[in-house]
Structure 1
Amino acid sequence: MRRTMTGRGGLEMAAASRVSGSAWDGRVNLLWISPFVALAGCVVVVFGSNPHSHYGLLLAVVPLLSAAVHNVGTTTLVGGACVAFFALAHYRVPAGDTAVWLIKLGIVAAAAVIGVLISRARVSERQLTESRAVALTLQRGLLPHDVKATNAVEVHHRYLPADSEAGVGGDWFDVIQLSGARVALVVGDVAGHGVHAAATMGRLRTAVHTLADLDLAPDELLARLDDLVIRLADDETDRIVAASCLYVVYDPVSRRCTIARAGHPAPAIVRPDGRADFPRLPDNPPLGLGGTGFECAELTLPEGTLLALYTDGLLALRAGGPEAAQEAMARVLERTGLPLASLCDGVLAALPPSGAEDRSRDDIALLLARTRVVDPRWVASWELPATAEAPSRARTLTARQLDTWHLSEALFPTELVVSELVTNAVRYGGGPVRLRLIYDHALICEVSDTGSTSPHLRHARLMDEGGRGLYLVGCLTDRWGTRYGSGGKTIWAERSLAGVTGAAREPSSNGISRDAVRS
């Protein structure tokens, strides 16, 4: 019975839509032929009226009506027909009234020309509107659709495209989850406007994601990105390709924040007590110039610190200049107790174009991030000597720690991963070996050594005695990789805790100390 009613309702709706569609089609057809009907009616009036009457001026309305409905070609045809028909009416005008007739003919001809110009203006406006719509669609498709908070930071953003005259720009932002519970915050700006700027923005954003997956340091990542911009500029000789970028990496375990910029404004850093400042960072050149290295700065941030990353379009809103805009921004961000969404709205409201009537001619990207800290009870680390007993010792410490965290169900795969990683570090790296476990959005295992040799995944043959360690790590974890530091390298692996009983429980307070434990 329910299905029958639903089907009947669907038929009625379909029939109603067909009726309304037919009525709409009828109105469209009537509107489409209205200039021709008006032209025919005016011709009848002209040839049927007194030659001394002014009814012929009705023909001047027909090109304007056609310009409102048809394209340039049809409007030109209708306008030319109006002038031709009025010229034919000259043979019905007495010789003494030629001057008046010429004035009327000039009015009709002027109306025909104006109709063509209006039609061309409509076409140009429609093309600009469609081009902007395409650029906006491309830009929105290339920007992140949903920036989610992580265990490292709470984030919120605002993005405002430029006005219709300037066109779509190349501003972008991103929040990228890194290894070791870290997070990368990115804001960039491609010079220029239009589809090409949006496409270049998409290529740079993809490159940043790829380079971030390699766990490159911020200064090295910007150097690689600079090489890419130079290659893009070489390929596109007909236009200038340049960009700026700000790349921030925050570690919620150590609370260290590493910042590098390439021709981009410095971020605003607001301490939990409300003290806001714009730190002095190494003034690296914009991307695309080449020939120079990049430097980064490292800060230690307390929990609850607010980071504000933005593009220069936000500073351009203030008539007093970038310094006045930064001061106004700082006054808003000092109210740290407000939600990030309210702070974003407050920053945009505090930076109106003073005395200006139009909107900004540049895109505006604003990304706010409030730092979090991983509870020390969720982190366990040990330092082991590079001896043959290290893998066994690592398995014992891992089993004890997972039992403390109530993750006994994840013990077997975690022991295998830890054993393989520590064995590789002892065999191919240099001591001492450091093992760290992090209980975050996933169970993270990290093994560090002083070596710099990058491990490679091998596919061992049937009779090979080795070469299966990293293959097992890849099968037992969701993702793994290598990152390098000043003292060597770290091989990390993450395993999801979905389906593990007790994975959502908070670890007990009697966990193993984070301090190094030597065997």
Structure 2
Amino acid sequence: MASGGAAGGAGHRRPAGEPDGPVRPGGPDRPGGSGDPAEGPGERAARTATDPAGSPDPLAAPRDTVLRALSDMSEGFLSVDDTWRISFANREAARILGAEPVRPGTRLWEVAALGVPGLEGQCRRAVAEGRPIGFDLTRPIHGRLYHLRLVPVPDGGLGISFVDVTDRRLREAGHPPGAPAGERAARMSELTLALAEAVTSKDVVRAVAEHVLPPVGADGLVVETLEAGRIRVVDSVGYNQRFLDRVDGLPLSDHTALADVLRDRTPLFVGSAGEFVELYPKLEYLSDNSPSAAWAFLPLIVSGRATGSLVISFAEPRSFSEDDRTLLTALSGLVAQALERARLFDVEHTRAQGLQRGLLPRTLPSLPAVSAAARYLPAGRGDEVGGDWYDVIPLSGDRVAMVIGDVMGHGITEAATMGRLRTAVRTLADLDMDPDELLTHLSEIVGDLGYDYYATCLYAVFDPVTRICSYALAGHLPPVLVHPDGTVRSPDVDIDPPLGAADPPFEVHELRLPDESLLVFCTDGLVESQDRDADQGMALLRQTLAAAVTRTGYFTPYEATDTDTGTGPDTDRPTGTGPRAGRLDELCDIVVSTMLPDHARISDDAALLIAHTRSTPTCDVASCSLPEDPRAAGQAREYVRSQLDVWGLDDLVMSTELLVSELIGNVVRHARGPIRLRLMRSRSLICEVYDGSLTTPRIRRVGQTDEGGRGLHLVAALSRRWGTRFLADGKCIWTEQDLPGKP
């Protein structure tokens, strides 16, 4: 910065903003320079003002003459003593900084307008090195930019002169003084509109990158927030991941530049890497790793609270004009408000999605009769989560329940309702209810929630022995069946009203499935859109499935391996031909990408469940009828010994004989016939005893003197699990035992 020139008389003043005297190296045309050893008139004035009596300069004037000259200078001028207290301030300094703040005795750091980051360090450096230092202030004062000159004096004090260089910096930056306000207004208007449409934090960053960086010639930006005293990078443009990793998680106290900006809540404009290092020597490692050479550090203030910072960077050193500073400062306020709104949305949306993910199954089970894969796609950008769900539930006798549903509406309430319904379905399915009975109970649950609650649901049960899939629909789309030869069809059935609006009973439909076929379930968000209705969407889904199974060769025979889902030694199923495990996921991806090519634009949640069904080989099922008299138990034990010998399960003969003896004995004593025994070899040994009674056996507490009631205790002790399911003409009591060598 140019030093204060030798002042003329009181009647002669230079135009405001122009330095007095000639410009020398280290003057105003070279901001940040360290000054020239030759002493200029302003520097002599500064030294004389702090020590007028001891000056050896032959040009020194008496004290009152010097002070009068300094008072009339066109440059602002302050002098401070060795305790950094102001000893003198001229009229221009009082006008710029305020008369009250610059009263003699005030500490320099207490002058609010000069409370800029790095000032104290520069002052102490000038005194320590004993040479003048000049630099631009990093923030405007009353909308004007000033260049500061620090001149040390022999007694330890400091003379400080500053001059308005706003117009000069504008010319240097290629902007004429008083740049058009219309251009600034247009930029503000465009950004305001873009930020109003931004929903997430990343949307805000994209809006800033598009509407702020090009007009100001910037190359990069980083948006950072404060979390527990640490800096967290929200998003960035123009920075490599290595640099971001060094900043992300850094304690705010270690990043002194941002700490100063957020503490003072004022922007910091740094025109070069050298200037940055001068201001913050400890942060030199950041500038070395940064691709930028100039920065604007802008605080993000919301409701009087510093929430983070917006750092805009430039590839080349530059001077920031008043127009740039004013524009960027104003834009930072808009960005702060938009980012706070987006942050609140992100928090809410993350919670809702976390809730929904927690309520959906983490993984789908791979069962002897069914292998499945699924996809869930939340609605596009800006929408809340919904209530779509799916599940695959193992039942007794290797049967499998498959369910998919959709709670109408979007939001946390709908996601929570979905969770309640899914839990209810699993509970009711564990009771081995038929599809129509289960949907009746589910509809009552939805009805109890209120008149505004509705949900659609498809509940299906697949029996691998009969290869029959029984299902009921409550306002939901029917399943799609893919045959092993690639034929795709969807059953034409009547659909009952949604849960909460339907009156029971629900109609039960049946599909007889070919072995190794696919069942495809989906919600309306997958097939319906603004461009197509449900019928058109279902037609497209069938076409997509037909093309996908051909493209992937899904049903192409191959030699199965241990890693294949549902086949090989892992399931005790004979190896042979079947689908590779990864093909189900591949099918899901093809269907989703074809049906919803632009996921970001979908307006409703979408769920897809594809199940590969397998029938139980006839060699793994054995059954016999038994008489309705005490001889039945003995015949059952003989049949068990014979069949387990065929299956090579001799280790289970004794326990299985005890189980069937107790179960058949209970039928003979407490129920009625006809009696039938069925054995199944799967991942476990399944024993089923059928009778014609609807009485429910249950375990009860037995006293020490009771002669009976211990049979079911024995059944529970010998089996991994057991239970009862009811049929149209009676019931079935079943048990499962682990196979030898299986966990």
TM-score, normalised to structure 1's length?
A: 0.76
Report the equivalent of 2:617: 375
Q: How does 1:9-20 map to 2 (within 5 A)?
A: none
In the alignment, does 2:276 pair up with 1:66?
Answer: no
Aligned pair partner of 2:715 in 454, 464, 473: 473
Structure 1 counterpart SS, 2:486: coil
Give me the whole-angstrom Cα distance separating, in 1, the residues matched to 2:492 and 2:476: 12
Structure 1 counterpart SS, 2:603: coil
Question: Cα 1:415–1:26, aligned 2, differ >3 Å: closer, same or farther?
Answer: same
Q: Percent identity?
A: 43
Greater fraction strand:
2
Structure 2 counterpart SS, 1:254: coil
Q: Structure 1 residue 26: deviation in Å?
A: 3.8
Aligned pair partner of 1:231 in 434, 442, 448: 448
Report the equivalent of 1:254: 466
The alignment covers a number of residue pairs equal to 427
Q: How does 1:74-93 map to 2 (within 5 A)?
A: 74=305
Give me the whole-angstrom Cα distance separating, in 2, the residues matched to 1:145 and 1:273: 32
Report the equivalent of 1:187: 404
In the alignment, does 2:532 pair up with 1:320?
Answer: yes
Q: How does 1:26-65 map to 2 (within 5 A)?
A: 26=253, 28-34=255-261, 37=264, 39=266, 65=298
Structure 2 counterpart SS, 1:361: coil
Q: Which amino acid aligns with 1:158?
A: R
Q: Structure 1 residue 73: deviation in Å?
A: 1.7
8 Å contact kept, 2:662–2:711: yes
Give me the whole-angstrom Cα distance separating, in 2, the residues matched to 1:287 and 1:38: 56
Q: Structure 1 residue 71: deviation in Å?
A: 2.8
Q: Which amino acid aligns with 1:128?
A: F
Report the equivalent of 2:493: 281
8 Å contact kept, 2:446–2:454: yes
8 Å contact kept, 1:281–1:296: no
In the alignment, does 2:603 pair up with 1:386?
Answer: no
Q: Which amino acid aligns with 1:73?
A: G
Q: Taking CA–CA contacts closer than 8 Å with sequence separation of 6 or more, which of the two structures ends up with the larger relative contact order?
A: 1
Question: Cα 1:119–1:476, aligned 2, differ >3 Å: closer, same or farther?
Answer: same
8 Å contact kept, 2:265–2:306: no
Report the equivalent of 1:241: 453
8 Å contact kept, 1:227–1:290: no
Q: Which amino acid aligns with 1:135?
A: A
Q: Which amino acid aligns with 1:373?
A: S
Q: Structure 1 residue 357: deviation in Å?
A: 8.4
Report the equivalent of 1:332: 544
8 Å contact kept, 1:72–1:120: no
In the alignment, does 2:378 pair up with 1:147?
Answer: no
Q: Structure 1 residue 321: deviation in Å?
A: 2.3
Q: Which amino acid aligns with 1:407?
A: L
Give me the whole-angstrom Cα distance separating, in 2, the residues matched to 1:152 and 1:422: 28
The superposition leaves residues 45-76 of structure 1 with CA deviations (integer Å, 9 ceiling, x where unpaired) of xxxxxxxxxxxxxxxxxx99333xx3322379
Aligned pair partner of 2:639 in 393, 397, 400: 397
Structure 1 counterpart SS, 2:340: helix
Report the equivalent of 1:294: 506
Give me the whole-angstrom Cα distance separating, in 2, the residues matched to 1:297 and 1:445: 28
Report the equivalent of 2:15: none
In the alignment, does 2:348 pair up with 1:131?
Answer: yes
The superposition leaves residues 190-223 of structure 1 with CA deviations (integer Å, 9 ceiling, x where unpaired) of 1111211111111111111100000000010000
Question: Cα 1:114–1:299, aligned 2, differ >3 Å: closer, same or farther?
Answer: same
Greater fraction helix:
1
8 Å contact kept, 1:318–1:352: no
Q: Structure 1 residue 23: deviation in Å?
A: 6.0
Report the equivalent of 1:345: 589
Structure 1 counterpart SS, 2:298: helix
Give me the whole-angstrom Cα distance separating, in 2, the residues matched to 1:348 and 1:253: 32
Give me the whole-angstrom Cα distance separating, in 1, the residues matched to 2:260 and 2:730: 79
Larger radius of gyration: 2
In the alignment, does 2:248 pair up with 1:25?
Answer: no
The superposition leaves residues 360-413 of structure 1 with CA deviations (integer Å, 9 ceiling, x where unpaired) of 122221111121011111110011111110011111101111111111111111
Give me the whole-angstrom Cα distance separating, in 2, the residues matched to 1:21 and 1:297: 57
Long gaps (5+) in structure 2 = 1-245, 270-295, 308-321, 555-582
The superposition leaves residues 261-306 of structure 1 with CA deviations (integer Å, 9 ceiling, x where unpaired) of 1111111111222221111233111111253321110121110221
8 Å contact kept, 1:72–1:119: no
Long gaps (5+) in structure 1 = 1-18, 43-62, 77-103, 235-239, 504-519
Q: Structure 1 residue 114: deviation in Å?
A: 6.7
8 Å contact kept, 1:307–1:369: yes
